[in-house]
Amino acid sequence: MDFSLSQQGPVTKAHYDRDAGLIVSTLKGMLHVYDSMEFKLIWETSNIGRKEKITIATFDYSPKAGFIATGGVEGQLALFDPSAKVLTATAKGHDCEIMDMYFFDKQM
C-alpha cells in the first residue's frame, strides 16, 4: 500500500472486514478497498470529477447492507456501494465536522 501524503492526504481510518477486505480513507476524500486475502487494491474513489469536494474524517461499513458511510470536516455525509463501485448518495448532515460513525446493524 502506497499512501503519499502529498497526493492523497493523511489516512483518517482503516477497517478490516473478512468479507469486504481492508477499507482505508484519507482526509482528501480518497476511499480505498483492498482484497481481504492478498490486499490488492480492488476499488478506489476520489474527488476527481466531483462538483462538491468531500473530505473523509471517518467512515463505517455495514456488512448487512454492504455500504460504506463516510463523514467529513464540512459535515457532509456520503454513501458508497463498494460492490457496484459507486458513490450512491451525499447529503449535508451537520454544520460541523463529523467525528465518528456507526452502523447499528452490526452484531455484537
Residues 6+ apart with CB under 8 A from 84: none
Give residue-wise pLDDT tens across range 48-79.
667 777 889 999 999 899 999 999 988 999 99
In a domain, 66, yes or no: yes
In a domain, 19, yes or no: yes
In a domain, 26, yes or no: yes
In a domain, 57, yes or no: yes
Beta-sheet strands, E only, within 31-106: 31-34, 41-45, 58-62, 67-71, 76-81, 86-92
In a domain, 97, yes or no: no
Could you tell me the residue range of the domain that residue 63 belongs to? 9-92
pLDDT band at 108 (very low <50, low <70, confident <90, very high): low
Number of domains in the chain: 1
In a domain, 13, yes or no: yes
CATH of residue 29's domain is: 2.40.10.480
Per the confidence metrics, is the pTM higher than 0.95? no
Give residue-wise pLDDT tens across range 15-45.
999 888 999 999 888 999 999 889 899 998 8
How far is Cα 93 from Cα 97, in angstroms, rounded to an integer?
A: 10
In a domain, 1, yes or no: no
